[in-house]
Amino acid sequence: MSSQNSSAQRTLVLLKPDAVRRGLIGEIIARIERKAGWRITSLELRTLDRSVLERHYAEHVGKSFYEPLVEFMSSGPTAAMIVEGEEVIAGIRALAGKTNPLEAGPGTIRGDFATITRENLIHASDSVDSAEREIKVFFPGRA
């Protein structure tokens, strides 16, 4: 990534099939774009297959919620994107709110629009290492 600012970062964001089905991707993208200095540098709508999900959710394979999660995540198109900017990794997770939407604060994406943990609208990388690993899975040409 080229930047003169050492706290500039990039992250992988997925707007999950519930966001696409419910017509919320414009609303969510608008919230991301409103942050000064953040920009979307790759964006693609695609239906994810099991092999991509297995790589993306490697740490969750075998957990009780894994199979229903894969079924949900492959149930329709997902909007996958790379977002770049100042402190964007923690920043987008703050915009998203807690994983369980019932615990997510008002004003957050999950707090405002979701109610159940699996269908929580958005995924955002949780660290620099995760972001680089996940970008490789979804956008190998940008790795």
- Give the footprint of ligand CMP on this chain (CB under 6 A): 60, 65, 69, 99, 117-118, 120, 123
Q: How far is the CB of 99 from ligand CMP (least distance, A)?
A: 5
CB closer to ligand CMP out of 10 and 123 = 123
CA distance 67 to 76: 16
DSSP symbols for 58-99 = GGGTTSTTHHHHHHHHTSS-EEEEEEEEETHHHHHHHHH--S
CB closer to ligand CMP out of 29 and 48 = 48
User: Is 123 an active-site residue?
Assistant: yes
Q: How far is the CB of 39 from ligand CMP (least distance, A)?
A: 22
CB closer to ligand CMP out of 36 and 129 = 129
Identify the active-site residue in 17, 84, 123, 125: 123
Residues 6+ apart with CB under 8 A from 101: 110, 111, 113, 114, 115, 116, 117, 120, 121
Active site residues: 123
